[in-house]
Amino acid sequence: MTAGAKSSRGSRAGTDGTGSPRFDAALGNVLALSYRPELTITESPGPARLAPHSFALTADAHLADAHLASARLVVLHDPNGQDTWQGTLRIVAYIDADVDLEVAADPMLPEVGWSWLQEALDEYGASAAAIGGTVTQVASRSFGVMGHRPPEGRIQVRASWTPRSMDDLPNHAGAWARLIALAAGLPESSDVSSIGG
């Protein structure tokens, strides 16, 4: 969408009932981003048990009448930090996109999918540490009473990383939007605008 994310939450208070002004300000900048029109971005409740403060976005990618991908971005913040994060922030991203059956069967698809994440982070200047994740390729055919369904190919990217600066959260959201576009095969375009503006 072109006017930022639709919000389904009015507050991002921590599990102790308090807010984090700097975290909320950074998330405000994320919500103010303008995303490419093929993406519908919505704010959703973040997980309450993983960190004192959390925030989440969901996305659906459409082109014409076709639904191409679904995605979720979770931002976690623990002011005291967590050893496994190597910082006070953690981003968890998930993308599930349709691909051609031939592409889904390509043994190099996981490596390509992971390279899309690296490319997206680099393109948006989203400096990150402790990056990890998995890429899953799915090729399925239906049988019996479900035999009328066409064969399906999918790629699923699950990744997490630690932003090096809270001020860079909009860049990481931009990288997530870029990853969705790459996985969904959307035409070349600016994935977000207003970063740094």
User: Which of 28-32, 68-72, 135-139, 144-148 comes out lowest in average pLDDT?
Assistant: 144-148
* Single-letter amino acid, residue 34: S
- DSSP letter, residue 145: G
Model pTM above 0.75: yes
Q: Determine the pLDDT at residue 196.
A: 45
Q: Which helix (H) or strand (E) holds 16?
A: none
Mean pLDDT over 125-144 rounds to: 92
Q: Number of H helices and number of E strands within the chain?
A: 4, 8
Would the CA dihedral through 186, 184, 165, 3 be positive or negative? positive
- DSSP letter, residue 47: P
Mean pLDDT over 172-179 rounds to: 96
User: Which of 45-49, 107-111, 180-184 comes out lowest in average pLDDT?
Assistant: 45-49
Q: Determine the pLDDT at residue 8.
A: 38
* Single-letter amino acid, residue 171: N
Give strand pairing partners of 130. none
Q: Determine the pLDDT at residue 95.
A: 97
> Which of the four pLDDT bands, split at 50, 70 and 90, describes residue 169?
very high
Q: Determine the pLDDT at residue 6.
A: 55
| pLDDT surpassing 60 at residue 60 | yes
Please tell me the distance from the alpha carbon of residue 163 to that of residue 127, in angstroms, as a whole number: 6
| pLDDT surpassing 70 at residue 194 | no
Mean pLDDT over 111-117 rounds to: 96
| pLDDT surpassing 80 at residue 10 | no
